[in-house]
Structure 1
Amino acid sequence: MSITLNPFIASIPANPLRALFPFAARPGMLNLASGHPSRDAYDHEGLAEALTRAGADFPSWTYGPSAGDPLLLTVLQEHMVEVPAGHRLLVTSGAQQGIDLAIRTLAPPGSTILVPEPVYPAVLSACAAVGVRAVGYGAAASDTAMAGLAEALDAAPDARAVYALPTFGNPTGETLSQAQRLAMLALCAERMIAIIEDDPYRALWFRAPPPPSLMALAPQVPGAVVIHLGSLSKMISPGLRLGWAIAPDAIATPMQEARQASDLQPNSLAQRVALHYLRLGRLDAHVARVRGLYAARHDALVGRLAAAGFRVPPVDGGMFVFVGLPEGTVREGLFERAIAGGVMYAPGPAFALKPGNAAFADLMRLCFVGLSDADVPVAADRLIAALRG
């Protein structure tokens, strides 16, 4: 074909997680790879009632404001989010759109965004689409002063923002301590760099709530700027494709203009479904039930794998755990054996900044929330069997 593509679009990397979808469709496959809630983790009755009520609302079927349905914005602030003075709340098409809008607003082509490595791959796509370079930083649990981030900031003087997934991260499941959060805020404030805080898993804690968000802590650090992103996907329904962004006025306004240029507004019907669901007053009980489900499934999966020699890091919530293969494992052909045995996982290299990087070759991301209580131990046993050949 003779048409020349925009080089930014042509450079978008293939999403290695999306490439796994065909395997998930195989009959009998137990999917530990994809971050999808199981069927019993939805409030079907409440969603059906909310959909019925939304269907009777005229605003469900017409255009609406680019910032989001005003009633949904109000209900989100009543039930889920706190908007600091001088900030605005925007409804987004999932947290992913919030990431995209923040990057497009903050970073011109040719500049740099710092991202944690291992990284959530969709962030790399958002950077590539607008010609922004993604550079990795480390955030080990032992690195209280965030020295890995400081080193990356010193090496990237053109950095325009730091992307962070500090609570029950993807893929690692790790959570930054409050000391690490304050150190991150201080490092970025010193350099006058904004933080894009991706926080979709915050409500999914097992036994105790996580530390305060970066946005909640920001007032303690003069000069700190945070764009906070949340999502209804992990609490209510990913099919609604709804999230939110909270940003300082000077950033929220251009983010809204960028989204208007892209898709005009959030989906009107989905917003009304979310509005009525939140008005039903079912969210707290639903989320509490989901926490119990996820905690039990996490414990069942990692208990079995740890007994088989897998290296399992501690996880206190969320949806994922980044598991290490037992020492001495022959990993050649492991993924293929697992698929043949009816279980799939997300290979560690899928979360590297550069394709082919073997840094995470001995790791796998496992999602413990997508299978039923009965299927979780079966999936673990199949994985162990694949490991043993």
Structure 2
Amino acid sequence: MTVQTVHFSRGIPPREAIPSTAIAGLTSAVLTAEPDRVFQYAPIGRHTGDQELREQLGKFHSVDPDRVFVTNGSLQALDLLAAHLLRDASEPQVLVEAPTYDRAVQIFRRHGARVSGVPLRHDGLDLDVLRERLRTEVPAFLYVIPDFQNPSGVTTGEDKRRELVRLSAEYGFTILEDIPYRELRFSGTAPTPLGDLAASADGARVLTIGSLSKVLSPGLRVGYVIGPPGTPHALAVLAESIYLSPAPLLQVVAARALADGLVRQNLERIRQLFQPRHDAAVEAVRQTFGDIHLCIPDGGYYVSVHLPIRTDEEAFLAAARNEGLALTRGSAFYPVDSAPPPGTAFLRLPFQALDPEEFAEGVRRLAAAAEQAV
């Protein structure tokens, strides 16, 4: 009998989290009203994105729209920022959380960075380790995902955020805060954004990377950077040399979705949809394994664990495949100088697309795989 696979692999929105019918309606209206504009090249010459979209993103984040640069997804934002920040760096060192988003590490390394991990705790970076690193080498930038981190689910606490901003000012490094999950909070109080803290800290520098992929639609490919004056134009010069101009249709549709309130309406739908899945996922892990969560997230997509295993990761993953599980290799989320604790496998367990019964079945299979791997 074929066993249906439980997918603990990709963190993508389920279909029911994307307001496809409403987006299609907005697209039809845009195509009727101004087809000539959206099927032409966007303006060139330091073009920072559709004006209406930047204004709407400025309202959404309570920032001046002149500080917003729109990209084709957040990975492009990361790529452009890495090129911008590493181009003139005398020491191309980049610090990241360990574990962290694996594609970000790949991008930084492609731009010549030496990427080093700082251990992640239940409430953010291990600041003792970070301070020790800073005494010997100041990075070009520190990359963090402070809200419901991918892959761990960790949210950086208020006190640690303030200390990170203080360290940025003291040592002169830039913080890249990546916030794709920030709006997906199901409970608790949101800590202050790093960008807001930097605004009142003399000498601190924070660049914020956002995306509409998790709150509206990944297919629209809308990411953005919020930076200090001058940064959007510098990124625009880089972007034009790579792809000339963005896709006007997608940016105009995204702008209308924000202006019409669709994004905020969809966020409320997503929270109602995901919270029961989150609660059931946390409980399933606790009942099966005990308190081995890296944290209990208050939102986002992920629960993560350091699962004790009696063998190496390769043998465990083979046993998991035999149990009908699709997993992402946990060690891939660690930079080359970092690793999960000895005797454990790091597992990112996305819950956003699984009903409670399917997630619980996946956890049961994980337990069986851990017992079988020798």
1:103 aligned partner, one-letter code: A
Q: CA deviation at 1:202?
A: 0.5
1:336-387 deviations in whole A, cap 9, x for unaligned? 2322332222232111111894547422011111224553333333333333
Summarize the alignment of residues 116-155 of structure 1 with structure 2, pairs less than 5 Å apart: 116-141=97-122, 146-155=127-136
Structure 1 stretch 309-318 or stretch 184-193: which is displaced more? 309-318
Cα distance in 1 between the residues matched to 2:99 and 2:336: 10
Cα distance in 2 between the residues matched to 1:300 and 1:330: 29
Q: CA deviation at 1:245?
A: 0.5
Q: CA deviation at 1:173?
A: 0.8
2:283 aligned partner, one-letter code: G
Secondary structure of the residue that 1:249 maps to in structure 2? coil
Secondary structure of the residue that 2:296 maps to in structure 1? coil
Summarize the alignment of residues 1-389 of structure 1 with structure 2, pairs less than 5 Å apart: 28-56=4-32, 57-58=34-35, 59-65=37-43, 66-78=47-59, 80-84=60-64, 88-108=67-87, 111-141=92-122, 146-157=127-138, 159-309=139-289, 311-312=292-293, 313-326=295-308, 333-354=315-336, 357=339, 359=341, 361-389=344-372
Cα distance in 2 between the residues matched to 1:68 and 1:204: 25
2:282 aligned partner, one-letter code: V
Cα distance in 1 between the residues matched to 2:94 and 2:16: 38
2:140 aligned partner, one-letter code: R
Note closer, same or farther for the CA distance 1:333–1:205 as it changes in structure 2 (3 Å cut): same
Secondary structure of the residue that 2:116 maps to in structure 1? strand
Identity %: 30
Cα distance in 1 between the residues matched to 2:25 and 2:3: 32
Q: Could you state the TM-score of these two structures normalised by the residue count of structure 1?
A: 0.85
Q: What is the total number of aligned residue pairs between the two structures?
A: 361
Cα distance in 2 between the residues matched to 1:291 and 1:143: 23
Secondary structure of the residue that 1:362 maps to in structure 2? strand
1:178-229 deviations in whole A, cap 9, x for unaligned? 1111100111111121111111110001113421110111123111111111
Unmatched segments (≥5 aa) in structure 1: 1-25
Secondary structure of the residue that 1:90 maps to in structure 2? strand
Unmatched segments (≥5 aa) in structure 2: none
Report if the CA contact (8 A) 1:107-1:113 is conserved: no
Q: Could you state the TM-score of these two structures normalised by the residue count of structure 2?
A: 0.88
The Cα RMSD (Å) is 2.6
Cα distance in 2 between the residues matched to 1:125 and 1:281: 35
Cα distance in 1 between the residues matched to 2:284 and 2:63: 42
1:340 aligned partner, one-letter code: N
1:257 aligned partner, one-letter code: V
Q: CA deviation at 1:280?
A: 2.9
Secondary structure of the residue that 1:317 maps to in structure 2? coil
Report if the CA contact (8 A) 2:116-2:336 is conserved: no
